[in-house]
Structure 1
Amino acid sequence: MSRLNVYADNNPGTPIIHLTDPARIASELAPIGVRFERWNSPVTPDRPAPEAEVLAAYRPYLDQLMGETGAGSADVLRVGPETQGWAEARRKYLSEHTHGEDEVRFFVHGQGDFILHVNGRVYDVRCTAGDLISVPAGTPHWFDGGETPDFVTLRIFTNPDGWIARYTGSDIAASFPAEA
């Protein structure tokens, strides 16, 4: 289930907001420029489906989104317990960072937490299958797919070089682990 917990950035133990309704989550995130929505595709490809099949299933959504954002490419990222190098990649994702372009993800299967640090608040957004999130360029955040990940996402890029992080050097992410 999709979820949003919001904390004061100096109080990781007590959420000041807890939401599970996707429309309310979207409304809470909109003022900080984060796009959050549910895509109700008539077809959800199987987890091991080839990349071309996954992209084709969501092509109408992707075409519209890429037209709105000027993004130039989309791909499929599959991460599971068998994924080589996940522990090292997870450490990178768990460090607060920003990007020079919006970070856009759609969850086809599984879940992951995008955790944003904006205006003295920490927004822990649990994204699940059917959720789209777009974190604006320059927004400090980190991502947790869990110790035993199991997700398939569509990634949408404007920059042909793909995912490029600029680390902030802050250790705030250690105080705000994603909730199980």
Structure 2
Amino acid sequence: MSRLVIRAAAGDRQSPSKLASSDGVVIARELASRGVRFERWATPIDLPAGADPAAILAAYAGEIARVQAGGGYRTVDAIRLGPDHPDRATLRTKFLAEHTHAEDEVRFFVEGRGLFCLHIGEEVLQLLAERGDWIGVPAGTPHWFDTGERPDFCALRFFDNSEGWVASFTGDPIAERFPLLEELLAAAA
């Protein structure tokens, strides 16, 4: 189940949360008040275990067309990371470093889950995004993403540019102070 935890940016993994909720309405409201779009969509399509990016994009062609019609995202790709992916550790390390993008970061989770962490002003918002979650992070928002030690997700990524994922790393080690995916899941259990 999706979950949003908000903490003070000056805090760390031991700091009490200002808010913790799995209520989709609360999550959408809290994120919207900070300029982040969040929706929960139906995911009636069960992808085959070995579905490649082309098959994933074809399966979700209707949803892709709907997003592109409303936001003008020229490029869409599918990323799938499983626990046996040969580059899982390298990708996790790269995504865990706080960064920004010159464009919105828009994702739709078609399988599994991942942890989006947004550094907005004096807060860190950690969103456990799961199957059916759509998130639109505004351009320039410092954030990081945790795939987990044993990643298990598939997401559609929407871009305004033809280059795909292009990050500007901030050099701020803030991500090291906050819970990782596994820690957040254990705390919610």
Does the residue aligned with 2:65 lie in a helix, a strand or coil?
A: helix
Distance between the aligned counterparts of 1:163 and 1:117, measured in 2? 19
Matches within 5 A, 1:5-154: 5-12=5-12, 13-154=15-156
Q: Does 1:175 align with 2:177?
A: yes
Q: Secondary structure at the match of 1:110?
A: strand
Query: Contact between 1:80 and 1:149, CA under 8 Å: does it hold in 2?
Result: yes
Distance 1:139 1:44, change over 3 A: same
| Contact preservation (8 Å) 2:103, 2:138 | yes
- Shift, 1:162, TM fit: 0.6
Q: Distance in 1 between matches of 2:30 and 2:178?
A: 19
| Counterpart AA for 1:22 | G
Q: Distance in 1 between matches of 2:165 and 2:50?
A: 23
Q: Is the 2:96–2:175 contact (alpha carbons within 8 Å) kept by the matching residues of 1?
A: yes
Deviation at 1:51, TM superposition (A): 2.9
Secondary structure of the structure 2 residue equivalent to 1:63? helix
Aligned length: 180
The residue type equivalent to 1:5 in the other structure is V
CA distance in 2, matches of 1:21, 1:67: 28
Q: Percent identity?
A: 46
Greater Cα offset, 11-20 or 93-102? 11-20
Give distance in 2, aligned partners of 1:47 and 1:69.
30
Q: Give 1:88's aligned amino acid.
A: T
Check the 8 A contact 1:47/1:152 in 2, yes or no: no
Secondary structure of 1:56 counterpart: helix
Instruction: Give the superposed CA RMSD.
Output: 1.3
Q: Under a length normalisation based on structure 2, what TM-score does the superposition of the two structures give?
A: 0.90
5+ long unaligned stretches in structure 1: none
Residue 44 of structure 1: CA displacement? 3.0
Q: CA deviation at 1:24?
A: 1.4
Distance 1:75 1:44 in 2: 18
